[in-house]
Amino acid sequence: MNHPANNQTILRLENLSVGHGQTPVLAGVNLSLESGRFLALLGPNGAGKTTLLRTLARLLPPLAGAASLAGQNLWAMPMDKLARIQAVVLTDRLTPGLLGAWEVAALGRHPFTGFFGRLNAQDRRIVDQALEMVGATHLAARRFERLSDGEKQKIVLARALAQQPRLILLDEPTVHLDLKHRLEVTTILRRLCRTMGVAVIASMHEVDMAARVADQVALIKNGAVIDHGPPERVLSGAAVSGLYDLDGPRYDSRLGVIELGAGGRRGPLFVFPGGGAAAGALKLLHKRDYALCCGVAHQGDIDGHLAQALGARVVMAPPFAAPSAAKQEACRQLIDQAWAVVDSGFAVGQINQANAALLRQAAEGGKPVFSLRPPEEARALLGQAAQGVIWCVDELDLAGKLARRAHRGAEDAEAKSDATGQRALAGGGEDEPRARAQA
Ligand SMILES: Nc1ncnc2c1ncn2[C@@H]1O[C@H](COP(=O)(O)OP(=O)(O)OP(=O)(O)O)[C@@H](O)[C@H]1O
């Protein structure tokens, strides 16, 4: 296969406008892409990603502007020449009749096979290689139409690779694919860029995946490319929320994940962090709709960061130093307001002695403490106060025990309110007017 040198500009778009008929969808697009780079197009449904890709594939005429491919005018390039430089994988369903998977992949050799379209030994080897690259050698003899969507996608990708292109345009290349195939196809594309120097432009819907694989992202919205550049710069939480009008869910650029917005109808719970010890509990409790608070988390502690991403109230302190009295007091207040405390089982060292003390105070003060710590370790840490601790073997056990405790609490409160109501109806007590009014 070709090994084009990296760092050469393969595609340059200047003031490009694309659309349907005379109706522009995207205007003023200025982008350039170098060989060996992966550009992800991101944007909400209907933003114009497909329209841009179809225009670059010459399936739609441009409305205005210039595009150069490998230094030549894209619009003026003969189609056979274009096919030797650029391959296109769109979402249109391919219906190749009775053709087998190998023959479909071999269609990628047509730009190279002269008038009669005969494949020589080298063409055949290139098709075999392309199938091997996408892990589809075992599918070669199968009839294309009888393959699953994921298998078809691999063959279509092999067809593009058999073209030995310098640039591949892909519209949602992982749509319909299961997790395994999604990762495989993404890995193949990434490898193409890295080892073969092929440039890739792909429209994508998974921001987290784009952040992982792309060298460049272009954010498309409201008829324009609103920002482009390395995902590490462009994909901030605010940018992603703005791009998709997210109200609630948020993208965490450091973790590269999207977290659903804070629900928080239950609780609140105070969770002690500790270098990742609390991560599982924070995620599960967030999913179970608890309002969370957390502290003292030292900057750089993944638990503190995750808690923030989940919308928790977090008391943060500088790294590698004992927290100030004010930070400890802030935690004490959050613990007072919390319905219960979760001990993540954090490793106790010099820096988080304050957290150990706060946990001990909470247990001594009668706050319900749910602990993921082995009992003997908790007894050593909490002394007498360990007696009231509710032991949990893992996060699921913790969530179950919290739910049961909350249920019991609600029943107790209901029984108490029933008793108060009975007393009121019997003609006494402070609640009498309200009880009568409710009756
Ligand atoms: N053939 C067409 N004729 C007229 N308008 C079209 C045509 N195809 C798409 N459009 C319109 O062009 C706009 C951009 O559509 P496009 O398919 O490019 O968006 P997209 O970003 O790829 O969306 P999605 O993420 O949903 O695939 C939309 O408003 C769409 O309705």
| ipTM score of complex | 0.98
Does position 421 have pLDDT exceeding 70, yes or no? no
Whether the CA torsion 170, 171, 174, 176 is positive or negative: it is: negative
- The response to whether residue 90 sits with its C-beta less than 6 Å from ligand 1 reads no
Residue 46 Rama label (left phi>0; alpha psi -120 to 50; beta): left
10 Å CB burial of residue 22 (0-12, 13-18, 19+) is exposed
Cα 341 to Cα 366: distance, rounded to the nearest angstrom: 11
Does position 367 have pLDDT exceeding 70, yes or no? yes
Name the 3-class secondary structure at 216. strand
Name the 3-class secondary structure at 251. strand
Minimum mean pLDDT range among 257-266, 319-328, 416-425: 416-425
Minimum mean pLDDT range among 107-111, 134-138, 288-292: 107-111
Give the pLDDT score at 423. Answer: 55
Cα 158 to Cα 133: distance, rounded to the nearest angstrom: 8
DSSP-derived pairing of the beta strands 38-42 and 199-203: parallel
DSSP code, position 48: S
Give one DSSP letter per residue of 286-318, joined into a string: HHTTEEEEEEEEETT-HHHHHHHHTT-EEEEE-
| C-alpha gyration radius of the chain | 30
- The response to whether residue 181 sits with its C-beta less than 6 Å from ligand 1 reads no
Average pLDDT over residues 309-321: 90
Does position 436 have pLDDT exceeding 50, yes or no? no
Pocket test for ligand 1, best of 22, 45, 51, 201 (most atoms within 8 A of CB): 51
Please state, as a whole number, how many other Cβ atoms lie within 10 Å of the Cβ of residue 11: 24
Average pLDDT score over the chain: 88
If one compares 419 and 250, the residue with the highest pLDDT of the two is 250
Taking only the tens place, the pLDDT of each residue in 331-362 is: 999 999 999 999 999 999 888 899 999 999 99
Does position 431 have pLDDT exceeding 50, yes or no? no
Tell how far the Cα of 46 is from the centroid of ligand 1, in angstroms: 5
- The response to whether residue 286 sits with its C-beta less than 6 Å from ligand 1 reads no
Does position 61 have pLDDT exceeding 60, yes or no? yes
Does position 30 have pLDDT exceeding 60, yes or no? yes
Model confidence at 247, pLDDT cuts 50, 70, 90, reads confident
Which ligand 1 atom lies nearest to the CA of residue 19? Answer: 12
Nearest CA to ligand 1 atom 9: 51
DSSP-derived pairing of the beta strands 266-272 and 290-298: parallel
DSSP code, position 93: P
Would you say 251 and 202 are in contact if contact means Cβ atoms under 8 Å apart? Answer: no
Give the pLDDT score at 413. Answer: 67
Measure CA 217 to chain center. 15
Taking only the tens place, the pLDDT of each residue in 222-236 is: 999 999 999 999 998
If one compares 313 and 6, the residue with the highest pLDDT of the two is 313
CA atoms within 13 Å, Cβ hemisphere of 48: 26
- The response to whether residue 373 sits with its C-beta less than 6 Å from ligand 1 reads no
Nearest CA to ligand 1 atom 10: 20
The model carries a pTM of 0.78
Sheet holding 199-203, edge to edge: 86-89, 167-171, 199-203, 38-42, 216-221, 224-229
Name the 3-class secondary structure at 130. helix
- The response to whether residue 338 sits with its C-beta less than 6 Å from ligand 1 reads no
Model confidence at 25, pLDDT cuts 50, 70, 90, reads very high
Nearest CA to ligand 1 atom 18: 48
| Structural domains present in the chain | 9-249 (3.40.50.300), 261-399 (3.40.1190.20)
Model confidence at 52, pLDDT cuts 50, 70, 90, reads very high
- The response to whether residue 49 sits with its C-beta less than 6 Å from ligand 1 reads yes
Taking only the tens place, the pLDDT of each residue in 165-206 is: 999 999 999 887 888 888 888 998 999 899 889 999 999 999
What residues are paired with 266 via a beta bridge? 290
Cα 237 to Cα 255: distance, rounded to the nearest angstrom: 11
Tokens of 73: 């005018």
Give the pLDDT score at 438. Answer: 35
Sheet holding 23-34, edge to edge: 23-34, 9-20, 64-69, 72-73
- The response to whether residue 47 sits with its C-beta less than 6 Å from ligand 1 reads yes
Average pLDDT over residues 385-405: 94
Tell how far the Cα of 180 is from the centroid of ligand 1, in angstroms: 29
- Backbone φ, ψ for residue 300 (5° rounding): 95, -15
Does position 433 have pLDDT exceeding 60, yes or no? no
Tell how far the Cα of 20 is from the centroid of ligand 1, in angstroms: 9
Average pLDDT over residues 33-46: 96
- Backbone φ, ψ for residue 254 (5° rounding): -75, -40
Would you say 37 and 215 are in contact if contact means Cβ atoms under 8 Å apart? Answer: yes
Return the top range by mean pLDDT from 1-15, 102-116, 355-369. 355-369
Would you say 199 and 166 are in contact if contact means Cβ atoms under 8 Å apart? Answer: yes
**Which amino acid is residue 5, in one-letter code?**
A
Give the pLDDT score at 399. Answer: 95
Average pLDDT over residues 384-391: 92
- The response to whether residue 59 sits with its C-beta less than 6 Å from ligand 1 reads no
Tell how far the Cα of 230 is from the centroid of ligand 1, in angstroms: 26
Whether the CA torsion 324, 326, 331, 332 is positive or negative: it is: positive
